């Protein structure tokens, strides 16, 4: 199961018999998910120019899943005593695949969010599974290679485009705040081990946008080791660094800028 993803470098893990459940009850849904992920790409220009909204690559993946029947769903769980509702909780999940018999997979994409969103997702899955609303919970997030190699990929972008200063980044949609300018400048002018522009930019940019407090595989694994979400069966998929592309150039930038003008949704 998910052999093609694994061959492409995706991390795939199953918890609490999720593999058996997917293979027996959801083989078609698993194939849909694999197909959507195999087509996923993130142009490096989107990483550099992306603002506060949801990444274009995530939006494309969401659209692919939606077209395959993985739709947003709100679950409402009520406690009733003698027919009277005493307590009600609602749980919205971004992607749910429902079979004709009512069995469901719930899936969340955490490409680059604050890491406490893992707690929300896993606790929601746990409650929904305990109430019989879902059979499996799934999370797609940054895999180890994508997180750990982000600096080298941003550095490669600067080197291939021969960008030597912040002005050179403007044409690629990056407009730093005064705080970011100051931080980069301080790294370049400090007395002890001053950095080149590229080194300073890469360090500051990646720390700001893809730091350790964001959603990536190690942060997810930390929570699983503490038992958060247990005993809900879980499918966990880590996006690899090879989904980042370097050949789309101005085409990818134009898509980012068009999305900013149209006000794309945020995570």
Per-residue pLDDT of the chain (267 residues; tens, 9 = 90+): 999 999 999 999 999 999 999 999 999 999 999 999 999 999 898 899 865 456 778 889 999 999 999 999 999 887 778 877 777 788 899 999 999 898 999 999 999 999 999 999 999 999 999 999 999 999 999 999 999 999 999 999 999 999 999 999 988 888 888 999 999 999 999 999 999 999 999 999 999 999 999 999 999 999 999 999 999 999 999 999 999 999 776 666 666 666 554 444 444
Can you read off the two tokens belonging to residue 235? 């499918």
Q: Provide the pLDDT for residue 263.
A: 46
Does some domain include residue 165? yes
Q: Provide the pLDDT for residue 76.
A: 86
Number of domains making up the chain: 1
Can you read off the two tokens belonging to residue 172? 């690629």
pTM over the 0.85 mark: yes
Does some domain include residue 179? yes
Does some domain include residue 267? no
Does some domain include residue 32? yes
Read off the CATH number of the domain in which 157 is found: 3.40.91.20
Give the domain extent around 16: 3-262
- Three-state DSSP class for residue 70: coil
Q: Provide the pLDDT for residue 262.
A: 47
Q: Provide the pLDDT for residue 173.
A: 85
Does some domain include residue 125? yes
Strand partners, 11: 238
Does some domain include residue 252? yes
DSSP 8-state secondary structure symbol assigned to residue 242: G
Pairing mode of beta strands 234-239, 11-15: antiparallel
Does some domain include residue 90? yes
Torsion of Cα atoms, 214 then 147 then 20 then 99, to 10°:
60
Does some domain include residue 105? yes
Which run of H or E residues covers position 9? none
Q: Provide the pLDDT for residue 78.
A: 79
110, with CB counted inside 10 A (0-12, 13-18, 19+), is buried
Contact 254, 45 (CB under 8 A): no
Q: Provide the pLDDT for residue 261.
A: 41
Could you tell me where the beta strands, DSSP code E, fall in 143-258? 234-239, 244-245
Q: Provide the pLDDT for residue 257.
A: 62
């Amino acid at each position: 199961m998910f052999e093609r993803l694994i061959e492409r470098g995706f991390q795939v893990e199953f918890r609490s018999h999720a593999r058996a459940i997917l293979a027996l009850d959801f083989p078609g849904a698993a194939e849909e998910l694999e197909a959507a992920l195999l087509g996923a790409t993130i142009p490096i220009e989107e990483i550099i120019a992306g603002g506060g909204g949801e990444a274009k690559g995530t939006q494309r993946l969401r659209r692919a899943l939606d077209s395959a029947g993985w739709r947003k769903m709100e679950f409402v769980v009520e406690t009733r005593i003698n027919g009277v509702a005493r307590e009600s909780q609602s749980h919205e999940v971004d992607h749910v695949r429902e079979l004709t018999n009512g069995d469901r997979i719930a899936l969340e994409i955490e490409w680059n969010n604050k890491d406490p969103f893992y707690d929300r997702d896993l606790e929601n899955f746990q409650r929904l599974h305990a109430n019989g609303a879902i059979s499996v919970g799934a999370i797609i997030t940054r895999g180890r290679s994508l997180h750990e190699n982000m600096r080298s990929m941003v550095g490669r972008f600067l080197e291939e485009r021969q960008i030597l200063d912040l002005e050179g980044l403007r044409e690629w949609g990056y407009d730093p705040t005064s705080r970011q300018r100051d931080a980069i400048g301080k790294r370049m002018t400090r007395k002890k081990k001053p950095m080149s522009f590229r080194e300073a930019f890469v360090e500051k940019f990646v720390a700001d946008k893809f730091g350790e407090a964001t959603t990536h595989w190690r942060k997810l694994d930390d929570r699983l080791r503490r038992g958060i979400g247990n005993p809900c069966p879980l499918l966990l998929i880590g996006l690899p660094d090879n989904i980042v592309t370097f050949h789309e150039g101005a085409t990818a930038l134009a898509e980012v800028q068009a999305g900013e003008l149209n006000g794309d949704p945020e995570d």
